[in-house]
Structure 1
Amino acid sequence: MAIRPILSFSYPHGLSFQEAAVLQSNWRLSVPCDINAGSGNLSVSNSSCTLGPAVLREGTQAFLRLSFRVVGKEPQSRDPVSFTVRAESQNEEATTLGNNEATGSLPVLLPVEITVMGPKSTSYLSLSTEMPGNRELTNSYKIKNLGSRATLVHATFELPIQTVLGFVWNVSLNLDGEIKPFSCFPPRTLRMGVQTKKLKEPITRGCLGASVCTKIQCSTARLSAGESVTFNFSGDFHRSKNVTKLGAQQLYLCSEASVVVDETQFFQNQPEEFQYSQICTEVELISPFNPIPVVIGSTVGGILLLAVLIAILYKFGFFKRKRVPKTDDAPAGQTTSGEQTDAPPPAHADTS
């Protein structure tokens, strides 16, 4: 059990203590700190934090994060900085005080701002399922130093070069930008035949939509402030072998570029989403129009419609003829309406 435990630490005068945070602990802790406590040594600063609650039970363990900030734009020395941390409590015995202090050192890293983006690329391709032909496919990535400090840059590119349907991208690299030349390692196959549908979580990074991908790694000795370089990957996109018959469908091919810096001297001051970029191209396979099924369907449909109309008209007696008797055919003594008329009586001769 520790009563009123205190964590004190000393660090170089060129640093400013910011905060302390509990990363992990088997007991609920709080770490209010006294920032920039007084020190008689001008080259060393001291700060302290009080661990709460006031009484810690035996066996309490915790991982703390102490954050510091460099005072000024540039540190006066690039040598590793030393930190001394000491833990003590009011009820601690004098025999155990010697085990409560530790000293360590950390390298001094400078902030840089290297970004990568896809300014211009092929976003859509349409191919015929009967004769796909060759189409130009281009992916361009621009790497730029937005900071004020020159630095080493390492770039990695993952490109789709073959699909399961037999399409191949014969890609080659061209550089734009007046900078010191990049050196690139020979490309190597990244993976083959990966089925993302079998995975528990879909893959959203790297080379996507292809059965065979290639990885190209490039580096430059120095990328000055405000300087940029554009990597243009272009080549014919075609079908190398007609193994299966193609049907109308859509393919999505994605490439990716990522940048890293020398982590022994620098650290990226940009968020992670600015340190990589992805370009996706939609490939649409279109079946050519065949008029024969339309003509046959229209003809059969027209015949069926005509037959239905004839059947309806016949049902309502449209095709039945009504015969009307003629006047000349009526019997004697009858009118055309079939009624009989009274004949005049015969005339008698006068005998007187």
Structure 2
Amino acid sequence: MERLMPDNWGILQANITYRLQLDKGRQHGRAVFQRLSRSLTSNLQLRTGRKRCQEFPIRLPSCVMDYFEPIDLSLNFTLAGEVIPDSKGLRPILNEYTETSQTYKLLFQMDCGLDNKCEDYLRICFNFSGGDMVVIGRATVLIATVVLENAHEDSSNTQLNFLHPSYFSFKKISMVQESSVQIVCSDQQNDRLMASGSLRCAVNPPVFKKGSRVMFNTVFDITATGIEETSANFTITATSENSVRIKNESSYTRSMLLRYAVNVAASGIEYTRHLNFTAGHQEERLVKHSYQVENLAPRSLPIRVKLTFPTRIGDKSLWNVTVTQGTPGNRSICQPLAQRLAAVQSETVREAQDYVRLDCGIALCTELLCEVAVLEEHGVVIFHLKGELMSAAIAELKVKKLLLISKVSLSYDGEKYVDISEVTAPFKEVTLETEVEVMEEVNRLPMIIGGSIGGLLLLIVLIIVFYKFGFFKRNNNTDEADKLNMNGSDGGEGTSTEPEILPD
């Protein structure tokens, strides 16, 4: 106790009453005084020109679960001055600016061994849930399971520094196993760091104790648009403020493959369903096959469309196809591939066979590869196959019915895209079929002769029937009656035709 102003009153004395409290405001305290109480109240006599100190041992339970914050020690006191002799009742008082409440932070002491130099050994590793490939557009989050341990002495202010692509944005931390170690990623500077693909998290500040181990999930949101890379690198580095560190395993890098979810579908939208030829005649029929290729996913991509159709049988032209595109956008460039020879020669097709599939198995086929540079999201491209089908080539097969078949195959870069509608298939195929029927020519001369003879015989039969029923006889009797009537009017007896006059 000291005077603020010089005086002649000699030694001044006062009694101070104080109260100490550990972890004030916490429901469960982490330390107690000697009597197993979190608070202590005591008195102390003070006098000017003399300093007094008191020590109070603080005890910790055998296992403290929370090293995250220092222990708070709160002090409150009051001072009552004793009457100064020969001063007519004057007493010393506290300066009005003196703070009677104080809070002190009791930091946890680090275990640094006999040399008092802490040498930590931070070991870190991690992997990705679902393996080292993520399909963007199907997966919405990326989860990295991280394991961190300190295999040596205490580590001071340990931090984890994440370096990752900026299209993965940090979402949250969740513990995989129950642990007293806390991971805190709420630093305000992370708002700035995450925009550049960085993240900084504190590990159980201020001390990550020796022998401690923690396993947790770091969850990242995935940005589905504006990404074209096929791989991404993640690096996590553990650091501390220790002056001596073992750094052999404090940094870990892992690469992952990036694939993009797409859904491209082909369908036949219009085609000639049926036509026929007459055997022995040179005829041509117009045949049209139309295909639609549609991007059903919200991501544009380049795509290859292969059109396959039969064009020749033996040395005869079958179908003189012209390929056109029916959509103004999503234009493509088509280049012919090598023609595919028939797997079976037309001569080997049995003459008695009634049904043949007219594809690349028995006909020479033409293949066109059309490169669509960018098929926009929800975009459509249409291909028309149109041309005259020749009867001369079909006659080579000597069949009554066949199916003219064309095919569309879709493919894309399998190192970059995954079709989410059917992940196991790298492409899709669609076919269209036109039924072709060969009609035998009918000889009409026997029908005409037979019809004429039949008509003549029918006429004769009708005449005989009419005669039998007296059709012609009734006509003769009527003629004879007319003749008799005419003879009577000429001179024989007969009925007068003059009108009879009645008397009055």
- In the superposition, the TM-score normalised over structure 1's length comes to 0.53
Identity %: 22
Residues of 2 paired with 1:147 and 1:141: CA distance?
Answer: 19
- In the superposition, the TM-score normalised over structure 2's length comes to 0.38
Q: Is the 8 A contact 1:116 1:274 kept in 2?
A: no
Q: Is the 8 A contact 2:358 2:403 kept in 1?
A: no
Partner amino acid, structure 1, of 2:293: I
Change (3 A) 1:111 1:261: same
Residues of 2 paired with 1:74 and 1:164: CA distance?
Answer: 53
What corresponds to 2:387 in structure 1? Answer: 235
Output the aligned Cα RMSD. Answer: 4.5
Q: Is the 8 A contact 1:209 1:252 kept in 2?
A: no
What corresponds to 1:17 in structure 2? Answer: 130
What corresponds to 1:169 in structure 2? Answer: 319
- The alignment partner of 2:339 has SS state of strand
Match of residue 400, structure 2, among 241, 246, 249: 249
Residues of 1 paired with 2:230 and 2:287: CA distance?
Answer: 48
- The alignment partner of 1:192 has SS state of coil
Match of residue 146, structure 1, among 290, 293, 296: 296
Structure 1 unaligned spans of 5+: 1-8, 19-34, 49-68, 85-102, 199-204, 300-352
Partner amino acid, structure 1, of 2:335: F
Match of residue 188, structure 1, among 312, 333, 338: 338
Deviations 1:283-309 (A, max 9, x none): 11111222456689999xxxxxxxxxx
Matched, 1:213 2:365: yes
What corresponds to 1:283 in structure 2? Answer: 436
Residues of 1 paired with 2:225 and 2:298: CA distance?
Answer: 15
- The alignment partner of 1:262 has SS state of coil
What corresponds to 1:264 in structure 2? Answer: 415
Alignment: residue pair count: 229
Change (3 A) 1:279 1:73: farther
Match of residue 122, structure 1, among 252, 272, 275: 272
Partner amino acid, structure 2, of 1:235: G
Q: CA deviation at 1:256?
A: 0.8
Q: Is the 8 A contact 2:345 2:362 kept in 1?
A: no
Change (3 A) 1:113 1:194: same
What corresponds to 1:131 in structure 2? Answer: 281
What corresponds to 2:191 in structure 1? Answer: none
Residues of 1 paired with 2:442 and 2:315: CA distance?
Answer: 22
Q: Is the 8 A contact 2:264 2:296 kept in 1?
A: yes
Matched, 1:112 2:225: no
Q: Is the 8 A contact 1:159 1:207 kept in 2?
A: yes
Deviations 1:60-94 (A, max 9, x none): xxxxxxxxx9964528973524699xxxxxxxxxx
Q: Is the 8 A contact 1:145 1:228 kept in 2?
A: yes
Q: CA deviation at 1:181?
A: 2.2
Residues of 2 paired with 1:11 and 1:76: CA distance?
Answer: 25
Deviations 1:308-346 (A, max 9, x none): xxxxxxxxxxxxxxxxxxxxxxxxxxxxxxxxxxxxxxx
Change (3 A) 1:242 1:279: closer
Q: Is the 8 A contact 1:141 1:231 kept in 2?
A: yes
Q: Is the 8 A contact 1:155 1:218 kept in 2?
A: yes
Residues of 2 paired with 1:118 and 1:241: CA distance?
Answer: 26
What corresponds to 1:80 in structure 2? Answer: 231
Residues of 1 paired with 2:286 and 2:426: CA distance?
Answer: 29
Partner amino acid, structure 1, of 2:406: S
Which has the higher relative contact order, 1 or 2, with Cα contacts under 8 A spaced 6 or more apart?
1
What corresponds to 1:61 in structure 2? Answer: none
Q: CA deviation at 1:262?
A: 2.1
Q: CA deviation at 1:139?
A: 1.2
Q: CA deviation at 1:107?
A: 2.8
Partner amino acid, structure 2, of 1:163: I
Q: Is the 8 A contact 2:279 2:439 kept in 1?
A: yes
